[in-house]
Structure 1
Amino acid sequence: MNLKLSLLIILLISTFANAQETMSIKGSKPYPATQDYTFICEKYVYTGEANVQIAKTEKGGVLKISIQTTNDKTRISGGLYVDLANGDVIPCVDKNSNETIEGKTSSYYYFTPAEMIKLKKNDIKGIRFIVKGNTATFGDQTGYFTASNKMSYFSTAFDKSKKTFDTAAAISAL
């Protein structure tokens, strides 16, 4: 009885360990992806957060960046820069691949295989992006923003816990 119970527990643990996030782009087939990271975006006053997820594709990879909005005409568009921990910068060109679902706008940017290798070796430090839309009274904030790889807004000098996400390890595991 104990042997069966221990085997069942091992099976459940291995199932959860192998469970992986997926990402699909506008109804395409699902790609293996990292978890959905919540980066801190201090200048974006509506939520102060941007969600970031990276998936591996046949031709390299895809970055999905999402923010909450009040207006479905607001979009993340234009070029985007991914700043890495070692100081490298990966520029991404806007391919006009975006969607708005339930008050959240998402844009997709594509990586080459060489850029995916850089992402596997270095953590993402920040992502610089542009929000465009109508500038109406009580509308969404537009302009240039940076989503920083931080787990929380505040910490003390005595807090020795990890304060950033290990994006390089997660991308390497894809």
Structure 2
Amino acid sequence: MNIKLPLFVLLLISTIMTAQQTITVNGSKPFPATQEYTFICEKYAYTGETKVQIAKTEKGGILKLSIATANDKARISGGVYVDLANGDVIPCVDKNVKESADGTTTSYYYFTPAEILKLKKTDIKSIRFIIVGGSNTFGNQTGYFTTVNKMEYFSTAYDTSKKSYDTAKEISAL
């Protein structure tokens, strides 16, 4: 009996560690996905954070971009540019696949197989996007924004820990 409890705990921990994230777009089948990254968007005064997730599909991949909004009229709209650490840029065309619920707007963008190969080799540096919506006195902030692959707002010069997400490594594992 003494050995059964540690084995059970080890099995439970290994199951949790290998749990796969998924993305479902408009009721489609679930696609294997990376963890949901929290990128820093310093110019966006409402929250300063953007949720980013990448999924692999049979025809390439999906970028899920979510941000909290002050009202339901605000949306992520237009094209998105994914800037890679090596200087490459992946432009994503708006296919008008969007969701809005609970004060959050989400847009989905699609990658070709060649673009997924680029993402497997190089980390994402930043993502440029546009928020549009109705303007009123206490409305949502609109305009052009850049969200950066940073884990925290602040760090010191003596901090030697990794300060960004290993997106290429996780996309390769999909």
Q: Which TM-score band applies after superposition, normalised by the shorter structure?
A: over 0.9
- What corresponds to 1:34 in structure 2? 34
- What corresponds to 2:120 in structure 1? 120
When structure 1 is superposed on structure 2, of 78-87 and 14-23 the one drifting more is: 14-23
When structure 1 is superposed on structure 2, of 15-24 and 47-56 the one drifting more is: 15-24
- What corresponds to 1:101 in structure 2? 101
Distance 1:132 1:125 in 2: 23
- What corresponds to 2:61 in structure 1? 61
Quote the offset at 1:28 in angstroms.
1.6
SS in 1 for 2:29: coil
Quote the offset at 1:4 in angstroms.
3.0
Quote the offset at 1:3 in angstroms.
4.0
Quote the offset at 1:8 in angstroms.
2.3
Alignment of 1:1-174 (within 5 A): 1-174=1-174
Quote the offset at 1:14 in angstroms.
2.3
Cα-to-partner distance string for 1:97-153 (whole Å, 9 max, x where unaligned) = 001010000000000111001101111000000111111111011110000000111
AA in 2 matched with 1:147:
T
| Identity percentage of aligned residues | 71
Distance 1:60 1:168 in 2: 15
Alpha carbon RMSD of aligned pairs, Å? 1.1
Quote the offset at 1:71 in angstroms.
1.3
AA in 2 matched with 1:169:
K
AA in 2 matched with 1:56:
K
Quote the offset at 1:17 in angstroms.
2.3
Cα-to-partner distance string for 1:14-35 (whole Å, 9 max, x where unaligned) = 2122101111112221111111
How many corresponding residue pairs? Answer: 174
- The unaligned stretches of length 5 or more in structure 1 are none
Q: With structure 2 as the length reference, what TM-score do the two structures score?
A: 0.96
Distance 1:41 1:101 in 2: 21
Q: With structure 1 as the length reference, what TM-score do the two structures score?
A: 0.96
Distance 1:4 1:41 in 2: 47
AA in 2 matched with 1:165:
Y
